[in-house]
A and B are shown apart, each in its own frame.
Chain A
């Protein structure tokens, strides 16, 4: 299912059962991750190199979305 279709269905669900959504949902913008990255401009999600230690490999792949990096 496309992101646009999911957003449409979510909005419909919010209309049908508003009691299930906190107020902040109604004041927030529903959008796809793709559009957030596009709007972020120069920021890109960059995977960091894997980091080795003597004892074990530390998987430091940094794949979380931008919105979560700073919270």
Chain B
């Protein structure tokens, strides 16, 4: 049986599932809304009950961690606890237990896993940039600081700088209120918008690009796409500021083999056999690595380039 861990609303999982149905594969998709009922971890055997059927993890042929948590406690019930102190206490300890149980579950599935919660859920961008140095992968010059004075000196040196979230900030702050937290450009003129001190933030020199590359790595293959986002003011800093009226041109692209070799080593460090990677092709004809996103959307690479990545994932899971 193939086991998929995902979110109920993940489009790509549903597309892969359609291929699995086409291949007549035996699979189970667990969403983030699925509480593990009658979970049993004993003598190296892990099992739970799903829709009145016992699922034994030893019988899992392939495990695909796409998104979401292994829910071991009811967050709905927790949300109903009014006492703030008790809520904080139970929230903290339930999450600790959930993390440990998830770790044990995934350990039993590790040999046949396409990613895992442990490796995919919390990639440290700063650590990845650090690893790039040791692997001789070029990256933009990076500064992490909480001081406007230090940032000002960095901006003076590079003229144009960008900032983006250190970790993965959720754009939803409160109920329906949203902050557009995508990559932002900073120049000496826009520095005034920042207070003298702020939370630790990530800054990089703005790399002039010929085009951007989004590549999806699956097992051992890089599926890359060049995105010509540079000539559109709306998309030049972050192509995710989609211009829906005049979309960026996107074409299949092949990375140079030496860079692929280095990127494979990078992914190996973080135990990832599936991930999306963002790269810039600079005006100096160089490749500048930006970041890894293990759970990023790959459909935006798959469709324009006819890579049929959903089918490729399904083929791997049934192999």
Contact = CB atoms under 8 A, between A and B. Distances in A.
B79 interface: no
Q: Classify the interface of chain B: helix, strand, loop or mixed.
A: mixed
B206 interface: no
B134 to A, nearest CB: 26
Given A19-B199, A23-B203, A27-B184, A56 B174 contact: no
Contacts of B9: 59-64
B33 A27 contact: no
Contact of A67 (B18, B21, B165, B178): B178
Interface residues of A, number: 47
Contacts of B242: 70
B77 interface: no
Interface of B: 8-9, 11, 14, 17-18, 21, 26-29, 31, 33, 50-51, 146, 151, 163-166, 169, 171-184, 186, 190, 193-203, 240, 242, 244, 293, 296-297, 300
A22 B202 CA distance: 8
Contacts of B51: 56
A10 B244 CA distance: 30
Contact of A22 (B151, B165, B190): B165
Q: Which 4 A-B pairs have the closest CB atoms?
A: A23-B201, A18-B195, A27-B184, A33-B176
A6 B173 CA distance: 10
Contacts of B201: 22-24
Contacts of B293: 71
Interface string A42-67: 11000010010111101111111101
Contact of B174 (A6, A53, A64): A6
